Structure 1
Amino acid sequence: MVQSILFFALGFLCAAFLVSLIAPAVWRRAVVLTRRRLEASMPLTPAEILAEKDRIRAEFAMNTRRLEMNIKSLKEKVAEQLVEIGRGQEALKGLAVEKKDKNQALSDLQAKNAELRLREEELHKLTEKLAQAERSLEKRALELQKLEQMYDEASFSSSNRQIELVARESELDKLANDIAVLRSQRKEADRRNQELAAESKAARDALKAEKKRTAELDKKVERLLATLADREENLDRREKELARMRERPRKDHAVNGGTHKADEVEGIDNAIAKLEGDRERLEVRLTALARENKRLKTDLAALETAQPEQAGDAPRASAALREQMNELAAEVVNLTMRLDGPDSPIAKALATPRDGRQDVGERGISLADRVRALQKANATN
């Protein structure tokens, strides 16, 4: 490493020594060449200096003369161009005036053309109007002839119309009398219509009342059906008890061999048979009453669409339905009382005296009276 550095330093020093030896000779040669170049480019004698000045003056004079000639030629060209520009401006002014004249002439021609078109249209319209006027004159002539004929006919028919007018006046008098009669008949018809309207209103009110009563009767039937169902349950229980009672005496009779209870068993059987007959009869009556109720509902529905004069049958049908329902209720109460036995509260209620203030004629037969009548009928049977 040190050796290479030493070799590099030695080479550098040798090169520097060689350069220091060669550099003065190279410098002297460069100075000589530079001096020769300067001497060749610059005059060294006064004659050469004067000659150089003359040459420069001559070149300046030639350049000045060239410039003067160029300026003169340019001035001439400018003058010619100004002349041409003036001529062009004059020509433009002439063209502008000519254009203005032509535009004015064109506008005049257009106005004349429009005026000619208007006149042509007016002429065409006048021609059409003239043709229409000729046609209307022909029509007027024909109409005038027709009017003359119509005038003749009208003058002829006016005499006939006067005769007819006299006859029509007599007919008008007759029609006035007929109108007076018809007005009196109309007043009578209006009065009858008012009476019919009042009757119709009364019938509608009665129909509403009957509907209300029918609804009440339906509710009453439902209550009676519920009561009947309860009583049937009680009757079934009583039948079961009676069946057990029948079985018990038979067993006692089989065990004891006695005959003193046979009459009692037979009486119980008869009572049961009678109760069953009453129940069957009551069921038949209830079925018939339900059918009657359905029929009355149908009649009421038909009565709503019928004439007001036919509304008088509804109260009678409703009264018949109420009567049947009251009879059915009395039979149900009687059957219940018989099922309950002598200790029934119904029997106690029937044993109380009647209220003498009840008006039978206005309110009808009461339920208690109906039950008492059924008891009497059963007692006689």
Structure 2
Amino acid sequence: MIEYALLFGLGFLTAAFLVFLISPAVHRRIVWYTENRLKATMPLSPQEVRAQKDMVRALYAAENARTTQDLLREREKSLSLQLRHDALAVDAGRLAADIGELQAQIGEMHVEAAEQRSHLRKDENYISQLKTNLHIAEQSAANKESELTAMRTRLSKLSEQTDGLRIDLAARETEAESLKFRANALRDERDTLRQDVTLLQKRAKDAEQKLTQQQHMVIRLEDKAARESASAAEKENLLARRQQEIAKLKEQLKAANAEIRRINRVLRDAGLTKMAADLPAELTAEDTAASMFDTAAVTAEMGEDVRKRSAALAERLQNAKAVAGRDGAIREEIASIAANMVALTALNEGPSSPIRTLLADAGTKTPNDRVSLADRAAAIIANPVH
């Protein structure tokens, strides 16, 4: 706060000092302007004073002359106004007389106007009656005109309707002729359709007969497939028994191999190597067992394949009613399944099966272009893995 007070005091003193320095110059300037003004306004010589007096006298004389002229003009105006007043008074008397006469005329004219008003009212009443009569006549004329226009429009509509009826009549006649031609054409079409229906009925009867034959064939094939599936089940049971026998043979073979190895050791220990060489080898027996095991596996796989194909054939025979033209494929499938069954039986019976000799004899006896069941079975027996 003290700093602010000191700064304020310092500023105030600085301003006062500046004012103290500038004030003499300002005072001298004011004095100089005042002296110049006084010198310019005050006369400085007697000639100027006399000149000013002469100028004032001249101004007074001019003003006095102007005033006298104005007074003369005002007197002339008042005189002319007096004369005009006298003339206006004479005119006013004359106008008053005229006004009296005019008022008398106005009274007479009022009377005449009243009479004219009465006549005018009568005329207006008559005119109003005429207007009402004219309005009634115009309304009747307008009604008649509207009736006339309505009659004209009705007449035009009737003429248009007659023209339309004539056109419709002509169109109906043409339609009748076209309908006659169409009826004749429809009769011809009916005759042709009857012929087509008779042909279709004949074809339907033939198709029904064929369908019944196909149904009987399907039933026979289903019975045959059922028998084949039953035989396949029996073959599967036989295959299971053979697999059990193979397992037993394997066990016996293992025991025999162990016995052979034991005998070989005993003979080698005894010094009888020649007798040990005459004994059957272990690997040959194992190969025989392996081949028997492979044959059993192949027969099992063939049995499963035959069963699946029999089931698929049964489904195809069920669907054969809806799908026609596939008899050749079905016959081929049945022949293939039968050949597989024959081959499966021959493989299960082994090399001593009489089916092999029968197949060989059938293959030599029936030379034919078509593949027989014996050829199919022989091919499957020769190559069971396919």
| TM class, shorter-length | 0.3 to 0.5
Q: Which has the higher contact order (CA 8 A, sep 6+)?
A: 1
* TM-score with structure 1 setting the length: 0.46
